[in-house]
Structure 1
Amino acid sequence: MSTTETQSETYVHYHDGGVPGKRRVLVGTEAKDTFNALPKIDMRRIYSDKIEDRKELAKEVGAACRDVGFFYAVNHGVDEHLLDDTFADVRKFFGLLTEVKMEVHNQKTEKFRGYEAFLEGKLDPSTRGDLKEGFLMGEDATDPEQNRPITPSTSKPRNQWPSHPSASFFRPAIYAYYDAMLTFSRRLLRIFALALDLPEDYFDAITTTPMTNVRAVHYPPQESDSDVGIGAHTDFCWFTLVCQSKTAYPALEVLNGNGIWVPVEHQPHTFVVNIADFLKLVTGGQWMSTVHRVRNIGGEERYSMPFFFSPNEEARVSVLEQFRKEGEMYERFGVGEYFQKRLDIDRTTHLDGEDGEGKRARPYV
């Protein structure tokens, strides 16, 4: 994450929707009325049989989506033992031999599924790379665990799983987490619909086979202020659920309207939920896809397990009617096409050369 200064102004730089952007830091009398902490929302009402309870929850969620773009989902109801077990298995996976992990290096797949080594990602071009290692999986009709229909467009495997016996625990562990997060996400999607004054099942038709990802991430302690765990960016999905390990010093940070980084501390029995680019687009910018980053400067190992949820790959979406302005034209865009475009922009690796000679260059645009 870079910061620049002019004679009297300071700016923070980031990628928003895959496009470089900057925000001036506002202090004193120039400061806006913006958030300085994430709201906490009790999610127990998501399981209520009463529509009144779910609508009450939706009002709180809608306010958080408009004003912040992030919130803590407290009392989410996902089994805590499952989450603890998944974190333990994620730590174990990243502790495996490098050659075991590199068998499923993400450059072997078009969707960049599999293992990403340290410094291979580079969301902030002013840094030497993202100081993290990760593993990405997602929707894949050829994985029997997902029980998805195989069609001509989904017949090719997308996920990679390590074959070494030392990693045999990892696939079932990730799928247990995947299933739990997918179930919760479907409930949350209906709360989002209510928050937009839509029928509760409004988005069901375009999320029958949603695009989904789990990214397991390991952030080692940063030893330099010039490093970043992951550069400042917005997410390019519908919404993201983040389960983060407990650290004494918060590593995840969210950028508020004044250009100030707001720390997101670990909270027990909570997910961190953030709105991403698709929901910003369909609400005409009324809901915030908020810039965020990770700087793990507290001296501890940090692990994170974000779950990304989007509509069906073949779905086409546009700005919802209630957010359209009279006289303006609104195009529909393909979810899968947009997702792949952003993936290509954001996934810069050590294989990319500045001149691109003999390598696959993915420039920032």
Structure 2
Amino acid sequence: MGRIPTIDITPLRDKGHPGYDLTVRQVMDACADIGFLSISGTEISPDTVQRMRTCVQAIFDIDEDAKWEQAITRENYRGFIPLGFFTPNDGSGTADKYEGYKLHYEVANDAPIRSECALYGPNVWPPQVPEAQSVILGYWSQLDLVADTLLGALETGLGLPARQLRDAFRDPMTNMTLLHYPPQAPHEDGYGIHPHKDTDALTIIAPDPVGGLEVQTRDGDWITPDCPPGGFVVNIGDMLELWSGGRLKSTPHRVVNRSGRERYSFPYFAVPRHDVIVAPLLTPLPWFDRPPVHCGHWSAETWRTNWPDETAKDTTPELGTLRD
């Protein structure tokens, strides 16, 4: 394909829609070829996205000392990620040029699932931005619906039983990273985020008008998604590639911000429940050979190996990092 198609997903909300089958084929073609697509017809208003963007900017405008007080810890991977704190998971290369704020599926302190998996819990909400929780969780809930719609289409396209994918996202480990990329100098080495593949199932992001997201084509070129106003960029992650036996592609991408402006983004990462074992649901393609992964373990290892002094172990799954 060599390009990222734009698809109106309106027909996917109704299996009786006359355009349903065609739209499923379009989604499958994009996911099987380049692993990325731009979508319209989500029913998420531009005002909702703008409120989210304004909220994200306000969070990163917080005083630096207050940010450190709300920073992530090894025990609770929620809150601020300082600028330049993380290197690629395999320990190679220079630190990425972003600051972040990590959020996870919101779970109350007394939720029963916390006794099953220590990775669940309440988020750290910045008191300096009192509207943050309602704005972010409201936006998040709308993306949950979009993800459910897309997963339903992939069930159809892959010939899977209804809800076989979607049921794995009950009490999920879905998470979101708020990101601020200061501008890089024109000839500055390094990346906003290094080339990598997402380790989740499905990623959804409202493109920042500044640009900077680049996707690798099959022939090694880097291209920029052409997303319509009000649209979203979606990409397949390693978990869906594994579920599909290699039919859907988890594709390398990166961020480089040489626009001279501040860049903000807030990707949503759909991840199944902690105890789900992701393994091929169809006979793997002949060249595809990946072991099953445990979602809770994979998530814990991804976050653990982000710390500069941690390294991968023999039991660490492939974590998506790619070398230049």
Alignment TM-score, normalising by the size of structure 2? 0.87
1:341 equivalent in alignment to 2:301? yes
TM-superposed deviation, 1:159: 4.2
C-alpha spacing 1:82/1:120, structure 2 compared with 1 (3 Å)? same
Match of 1:235 in 2: 198
TM-superposed deviation, 1:275: 0.2
Match of 2:85 in 1: 120
Matching residue within 214, 219, 222 for 1:258: 219
- Residue-by-residue CA offset, 1:84-131 (whole Å, 9 max, x unaligned): 101001001101101222222112534x22110110122285643111
Match of 2:172 in 1: 210
Which deviates more, 72-81 or 285-294? 72-81
Kindly report which structure 2 residues correspond to 1:1-365, keeping only aligned pairs within 5 A, or say none. Answer: 35=2, 37-48=3-14, 50=16, 53-110=19-76, 112-123=77-88, 127-142=93-108, 150-154=113-117, 158-162=121-125, 164=127, 166-223=128-185, 224-247=187-210, 250-265=211-226, 267-323=228-284, 332-345=292-305, 347-349=306-308, 352=309, 361-362=310-311
TM-superposed deviation, 1:157: 5.8
Segments of 5+ residues of structure 1 without an aligned counterpart are: 1-33, 353-360
Segments of 5+ residues of structure 2 without an aligned counterpart are: 319-324
Which deviates more, 152-161 or 279-288? 152-161
CA contact (8 A) 2:119 2:300 kept: no
C-alpha spacing 1:200/1:79, structure 2 compared with 1 (3 Å)? farther
CA contact (8 A) 2:78 2:124 kept: no
Aligned-residue Cα RMSD (Å) equals: 2.6
CA contact (8 A) 1:276 1:290 kept: yes
- Residue-by-residue CA offset, 1:268-310 (whole Å, 9 max, x unaligned): 1111100000111122222110000000011111111100002
Match of 2:322 in 1: none
For residues 176 and 48 of structure 1, the distance between their equivalents in structure 2, rounded to whole angstroms, comes to 23
Q: How many residues in Structure 1 have an aligned counterpart in Structure 2?
A: 311
- Residue-by-residue CA offset, 1:29-82 (whole Å, 9 max, x unaligned): xxxxx51x2111111112235165333211111100111100101222112211
CA contact (8 A) 1:137 1:159 kept: no
C-alpha spacing 1:285/1:267, structure 2 compared with 1 (3 Å)? same
Which AA in structure 1 matches 2:201?
W
| SS state at 1:135 partner | strand
CA contact (8 A) 1:252 1:295 kept: yes
For residues 321 and 85 of structure 1, the distance between their equivalents in structure 2, rounded to whole angstroms, comes to 41
Which deviates more, 231-240 or 200-209? 200-209
Alignment TM-score, normalising by the size of structure 1? 0.78
Which AA in structure 1 matches 2:203?
T
For residues 290 and 69 of structure 2, the distance between their equivalents in structure 1, rounded to whole angstroms, comes to 44
